[in-house]
A and B are shown apart, each in its own frame.
Chain A
Amino acid sequence: MLRVEGLKKELGTFCLGEINLQVEQGEYFVLLGPSGAGKTLFLEVLAGFQQADAGRIYLNGRRIDGLSIQKRKIGYLCQGDTLFPHLRVRENISYGLRIRSLTPEVIRERVEATARETSTEGLLDRDPGGLSGGERQRVALARMLVLDPECLILDEPLAGLDEILKQDILGLLLELQARGRTFVHVTHDPQEAMAVATRVGVMEGGKIVQDSPISEFKTRPKCQFAARFAGIRNFFTVEVLSSGERGSADRGRVLVLPGNASVQVTAPTHLLVDSPRFMVIDESKISLYEKGRQYIPAQNRFEGVVKGIYPAHRGAVLIYVDIGFLVTVLGRDGLLLGKDDKVVVWWPDEAMRFYG
């Protein structure tokens, strides 16, 4: 089990942390985030290439943040091609074993066993230069696995691979996870995370802004990055101004952050129990009217300006409307709307979901 407590690291103007994280034995944790979020720096701190300014790192109960890189028992796969090009595949895989004063016989046995585990037996006597991208990643993984690390940390292991090779490596990673290996896998690709993760974290600006099981990640995003991936366009951080009196006909009032304080969403009190921090509005349930049209319910009716119209699937269009905050409406193609047109937007209570 990998446990990170209060980890902080400053590098130039970038600040990583504070990070608290626990990855259980056999768990496959994927850390998602855009470029520059601090994912690689986090892995480098875990592996010991960067010293943390504060915090503690434990691996299977053993505190490792004060240990040298060589003694941490963490297998670190750097991003990109890291095979030693001047050594054959067999020598690449046995590189770490040869340091450990083992007999040639033991080294040969362990290399061959790991090669079988990673399906690289046929590559052992080849030069890395002649291998495909997928084969190279398999060998790089074998080189780590042969040392039996307590945790594997992978930095964008599928970057630069085509779809078929990606599936190939993903399959191998899943097999390894099924055998009880613990993984921390960093990527900017949510599809990749979905394929292997048992738990997903999202890093933005050096902080883990979401850490949840994979199912919750899709349905209850806690940041724009996760929401975008889950296909949720109307994701908002909110502040409940008043939740209303329970059981009464009163409605609670919610402020969308950041937004115009005069634009407040209202909701039935039962939706606002426990002061939720996030709101999702189903884009397909939002209605759009010409300005001046009568008989529109008063609740959650806002005047706005069309900011853009983009084609969506099956002849639908996505209409972005500024109502004090930007809301996305799923509309039919053929609407006689243009940019900067003034419209009225309305949604029913059942279009809203609050959580967090």
Chain B
Amino acid sequence: MRRPDILTLIFVFLGGLALLFLIAPLGGLILQSSALELMETIQDPEVQGSIWLSLWTAMGATLAFGVCAVPLAWLLARKDFPGKKIITAIIDLPLMIPHSAAGIALLTILSRHTVLGKAAEKAGISLVGGPAGIVAAMAFVSLPFLINSARTGFEAVDVRLEKTAMNLGASSLRTFFTITLPFAWRAVIAGTVLMFGRGMSEFGAVIIVAYHPITAPVLIYERFGAYGLRYARPAAIVFIGVCLVVFVILRVVAEKRH
């Protein structure tokens, strides 16, 4: 058998270290928890409630804001307009700022003293300290993943196909849905999954905007602060397990749809 070259060997070693770094904490979590602890945690209503809340608020954030994010991604991919570079930088901002700062920033438009907060209050919706606030916090920090992924997908679609469709009589809207979107679909779905995942695991912005109702990341933090590692660990394992299952399902569904 041919021996691997030196470059491959070095990269396997370095890549292996990176992979080990990712796997080791997860392995430690699992190995240090007993099956009994895990079963008790799974049956714990508070844990179940927090995971369910994380799931549906992340899904809500992805759907509600994705409807606006995908058109924005298309505009960025296809149109040139003044301020485009600034807008691109603003979109990436949530990736760079501390998420606690993102939460504080959100409070300036969502709190009860703001126009939006007052309007929501009148409609019987509590933005701060409610699921709507959690949705907003999740969306704020995770939107760049969908916008950037979808933008890359739209940019990769051959403009000549779109032109051909329009020349054949298709309106721009029909061209988007019959030509552009089917080709960018994989990237849009990948971005959606990333947005959903990032939103579900958000802690910093969520804890500032809505400590209660309690989402899974906040619950894990709370248990760690109040009772220590031993009590936080099983909740963390259950949440990681749920995330893994959800992502696998979403990926499989997306691949089949494509």
Pairing of A with B: yes
- Counted as pairs of residues, one from A and one from B, with CB atoms less than 8 Å apart, the total is 48
Q: Are B163 and A95 in contact (CB under 8 A)?
A: no
Task: Point out the residue from A49, A79, A86, A143 that lies within 8 Å of B168, measured CB to CB.
Answer: A143
Contact B169 A86 (CB under 8 A): no
A84 adjacent to chain B (CB < 8 Å) = yes
Whether B171 sits at the interface, judged by CB under 8 Å, is: yes
Give every chain A residue within 8 A of B174 (Cβ-Cβ): 99
Cβ of B102 to closest chain A Cβ, rounded Å: 39
B170 cross-chain contacts in A, Cβ below 8 A: 70, 95-96, 99
Are A70 and B171 in touch, CB under 8 angstroms? yes
Q: How large is the interface on B (under 10, 10 to 19, 20 to 34, 35 or more residues)?
A: 10 to 19
Known: A79-B160, A84-B165. 14 other contacts (CB 8 A): A49-B163, A69-B167, A70-B169, A70-B171, A75-B167, A76-B164, A82-B158, A82-B161, A86-B183, A95-B168, A96-B169, A99-B168, A99-B170, A99-B174
Chain B, interface SS category: helix
User: Inside 8 A of B166's CB, which chain A residues have their CB?
Assistant: 49, 69-70
- Mark each residue of chain B from 204 to 246: 1 if its CB lies under 8 Å from any CB of chain A, else 0: 0000000000000000000000000000000000000000000
Q: Is the CB of A147 within 8 A of B161?
A: no
Asked if residues B160 and A80 are in contact (CB atoms below 8 Å), the reply is yes
Is A74 on the interface with B (CB-CB < 8 A)? yes
By a CB distance below 8 angstroms, the chain A residues around B15 are none
Q: Helix, strand, loop or mixed for chain A's interface?
A: mixed
Give residues in B with beta carbon < 8 Å to A.
158, 160-161, 163-171, 174, 178-179, 182-183
- Do A78 and B168 form a contact, CB below 8 Å, given A84-B179, A86-B183? no
Would you give the shortest CB distance from B78 to chain A, in whole angstroms? 13
B161 in contact with A84 (CB, 8 Å): yes
Taking CB atoms and an 8 Å cut-off, the chain A residues in 49-84 that contact chain B are 49, 69-70, 74-76, 78-80, 82, 84
- Bound-state CA distance A144–B160 (Å) is 14
- Report the Cα distance A84→B169, complex, angstroms: 15
Q: Which of A78-131 contact B (CB under 8 A)?
A: 78-80, 82, 84, 86, 95-96, 99-100
Say how far B258's CB is from chain A's closest CB, in angstroms. 10
Residues in A with CB closer than 8 Å to B168 are 95-96, 99, 143-144, 147
Across the interface, do A74 and B183 meet the contact criterion of CB distance under 8 Å? no
Residues of chain A lying within 8 A (CB to CB) of residue B171: 70
Given contacts A80-B160, A84-B161, A99-B174, contact A74 B169 (CB under 8 A): no
CB closest chain-A residue, reference B168: A96
In contact, A95 and B165 (Cβ under 8 angstroms): yes
B182 A147 Cβ-Cβ under 8 A: no
CA distance A323 to B244 in the complex (A): 81
Closest 7 CB pairs of A and B: A96-B168, A78-B160, A76-B167, A82-B164, A99-B169, A69-B166, A96-B169
Q: Is A47 an interface residue (CB 8 A)?
A: yes
